[in-house]
Structure 1
Amino acid sequence: MKMHRLGLKAMRVIGRAVVAALSLPAATSAFGAHFRPFPAALSLPRDVAADTVVARAHLTPQKLCGEGTCRLVNFLPISMVNLIPGDSAGVEVKGPTVVTEIKGLRMQVLVNGTPQTMLYEDRPPIVFSSPIEIQLLRDSSPELVSGASTDAIQFWFFTKTTSGSDRIDNYIRFNTRLTRIEGSCSVPSQTVELQPALARSLTGIGATAGERSFQININGCPKGYNKIFYRLKPVGDTIETSAGVLPLSPESTAKGVRIRVTDSAGAAVAFDTSTRIDDYNKDTGGSFSIPMRVSYVQTEANVTPGTVNAAMSVLMEYQ
């Protein structure tokens, strides 16, 4: 029997500093809720690029109208900052972004994945059944400045149920203190090479071969952040055959086989999911290693030998 080989696979781990944070506290009232989606204390690197989402949170329809589907009937972005000398704060703006009281940061709300602009009740409502997303973004200001907001209302978000006529008045507030940190973690790029494997060692869809261990190194994290997370993001087409499977890079020539990434215990990693670095101490900072495993995985009934290449990015998130 002729023995076929799968070619050498190279997986590049690329370090990029992208900032984000997750939080979801809310205080309810008899007529809806006052949501404060971001942490009370937020720490960010000073060199965050403009238009970067530095924090995000989600609110479900159940939280906003008490049902699985809501109708957004009135949406009003409110600027609490004097943009022009002599103007009063608390003015309506079209949106989607609203200037916050912390210089360098703006907010916006996404409904059905689209940044939401002003909506009056005389216009058709927007029906949504998936969570809305609230984003905090770095704007184009020259400096990101440490400071605090005053629990100001940034958005009216008035809803109705799909069948009811009562309006539910929800308000999205900004009540956060920002500390600017003079530095960020670094993630060195690396190439992880798997040894060639025999095609016959893959015996069916889901079978793996050529497993090896590697580490993601996260270096030089400065002190001062409240929490640090990392997020693994596939490079290329994100359609997966199963959890933890990376799409093939264009230079790959093999068919029916991809690369699978797992944690040190062998559980498939969840892409685009934040994982906290529990060993990070805000008083000391430090460097950290995340143990991982990688292997070939058969994804189709027939395997054509060739080269197998894939890549993922490591996105750092700060809070």
Structure 2
Amino acid sequence: MQQFHQTLRNLAARLIPAIALIVFVSISPKAAALVQVTAFGATLNLPNSLPAGSVISRHTIPLSQLCSSPPCEVTSISLWPNGGGATLGGPLIQTNVPGISTRLLVNGQPATLFNIGNNKTMVKSPLEVQLVRDERSLSAGSLSGQQGGNPSYFYVCTPTIGDYAGNMCMSNKNGLAIALSATVKLVNGTCSTPDQSVVLTKMVLEKFKGVGSTGDPSGTKGFNLRFNNCPPSFARISYELSPTGGPLPAIPGALPVAGGSTATGVAIQITDTSGTPAKFNQRFTLSAYNSSTGGSYTIPMNARYIQTAATITPGTISGMMSVLMDYQ
């Protein structure tokens, strides 16, 4: 957890047709076809210490694979644990790898088993398949399903002309069949990301010149994101900066003002060393990571004051963010 704080002090501040012909046309949003999609790749390298509830990996499926013209009508969804057997309600179903379950996100929400007959739902955003660490002991293995020639974990059914219900897409061949792939391998250990506190120097109010101003350059403090003792064998390591403590200010890179702060109209902004504001809640690859050797790595960053309102009142200000890690 990165913590940032410091003190401010106040020093100043018509045609009629002969024939009318009306034609009713029924148009399917997608030709009748069952499209097979496979989520994830050949290998997933995972730390063996992942806690239950962790989202291990995500696979996005564009709506263009479900229908030709989004939003897409969906008439049923079925969930098949282990890529075979009997359906379950979900939203979380087990995979063939002990310790790993999967779920399907539809319109950003975990999908459950449903068959809605002549009704429909509209899907407006890409589908997402997630792998999630469950309570079982984690072991290596293959995610591939067990259901013969069509080992899918999820079926997302769309309507066809003459069969609007579309609730049997496995036989009627309309919709998406989503299979899982990848061999899961376990790696012993993860990177450590130590807690640190960054203290900025004092800044006087007269140094700020309006919303977005950052005061005197002397108020900028450098620090390093530290990734220590990363083990070898991961294909890729990524990280994400996650602000803590409340809604984000409108200014890019500015942290939420933490509880206990007494100053107003100002926040702490995180930037790279060139002054470009940090992007929060986005995944970035730790490009220096060496899969063969592992090692320790640093990413230099800056913290600085930034004015967020027309008026600033003096006092103390602090903000926090976490560094979230993703291993593949």
TM range (shorter): 0.7 to 0.9
**Structure 1: gaps (5+ residues):** 1-5, 9-28, 82-88
Q: 3-state SS of the aligned residue for 1:36?
A: strand
- Corresponding residue pairs, total: 284
Query: Alpha carbons of 1:160 and 1:206: their partners in 2 closer, same or farther (altered >3 Å)?
Result: farther
Q: Residue 275 in 1 paired to residue 274 in 2?
A: no
Shift >3 Å, 4+ stretches:
164-168
Q: State how far apart, in whole Å, the 2-side matches of 1:286 and 1:201 are.
A: 42
In the other structure, the counterpart of 2:179 is 173
Q: Choose which of 98, 102, 105 in structure 1 pairs with 2:97.
A: 102
Q: State how far apart, in whole Å, the 1-side matches of 2:40 and 2:240 are.
A: 19
Query: Alpha carbons of 1:214 and 1:110: their partners in 2 closer, same or farther (altered >3 Å)?
Result: same
Q: State how far apart, in whole Å, the 2-side matches of 1:238 and 1:63 are.
A: 35
Q: State how far apart, in whole Å, the 2-side matches of 1:105 and 1:123 are.
A: 35
Q: Residue 56 in 1 paired to residue 58 in 2?
A: yes
Asked if the contact 1:65–1:160 (Cα under 8 Å) also holds between the matched residues in 2, the reply is no
Q: 3-state SS of the aligned residue for 2:206?
A: helix
Please show how residues 11-30 of structure 1 align to structure 2 within 5 Å.
none
Please show how residues 171-250 of structure 1 align to structure 2 within 5 Å.
171-209=177-215, 210-250=219-259
Q: 3-state SS of the aligned residue for 1:302?
A: coil
The amino acid of 2:36's aligned partner reads H
Asked if the contact 2:78–2:154 (Cα under 8 Å) also holds between the matched residues in 1, the reply is yes
Q: Choose which of 126, 131, 142 in structure 2 pairs with 1:131.
A: 126
Moved more, 128-137 or 175-184: 128-137
The amino acid of 2:65's aligned partner reads K
Cα drift, residue 80 of structure 1: 2.4
Cα drift, residue 160 of structure 1: 5.0
Asked if the contact 2:38–2:178 (Cα under 8 Å) also holds between the matched residues in 1, the reply is yes
Moved more, 30-39 or 244-253: 30-39
CA deviations 1:64-109 (Å, max 9, x no partner) are 213231122110001227xxxxxxx432111111211111100001
Report the structure, 1 or 2, having the larger strand content. 1
Cα drift, residue 269 of structure 1: 1.3
In the other structure, the counterpart of 1:153 is 152
| Greater Rg by CA | 2
Asked if the contact 1:246–1:311 (Cα under 8 Å) also holds between the matched residues in 2, the reply is yes
In the other structure, the counterpart of 2:148 is none
Q: State how far apart, in whole Å, the 2-side matches of 1:74 and 1:220 are.
A: 47
In the other structure, the counterpart of 1:7 is 7
Q: State how far apart, in whole Å, the 2-side matches of 1:97 and 1:243 are.
A: 35
The amino acid of 2:62's aligned partner reads T
Query: Alpha carbons of 1:63 and 1:246: their partners in 2 closer, same or farther (altered >3 Å)?
Result: farther
Share of identical aligned residues, percent?
33
Asked if the contact 2:119–2:165 (Cα under 8 Å) also holds between the matched residues in 1, the reply is no
In the other structure, the counterpart of 1:68 is 70
Query: Alpha carbons of 1:282 and 1:160: their partners in 2 closer, same or farther (altered >3 Å)?
Result: farther
Q: State how far apart, in whole Å, the 1-side matches of 2:177 and 2:120 are.
A: 17
Q: State how far apart, in whole Å, the 2-side matches of 1:200 and 1:240 are.
A: 22
Q: 3-state SS of the aligned residue for 1:220?
A: strand
Q: State how far apart, in whole Å, the 2-side matches of 1:282 and 1:244 are.
A: 30
**Structure 2: gaps (5+ residues):** 1-5, 9-30, 146-150, 167-173
- Aligned alpha-carbon RMSD (Å): 2.2
Query: Alpha carbons of 1:187 and 1:117: their partners in 2 closer, same or farther (altered >3 Å)?
Result: same
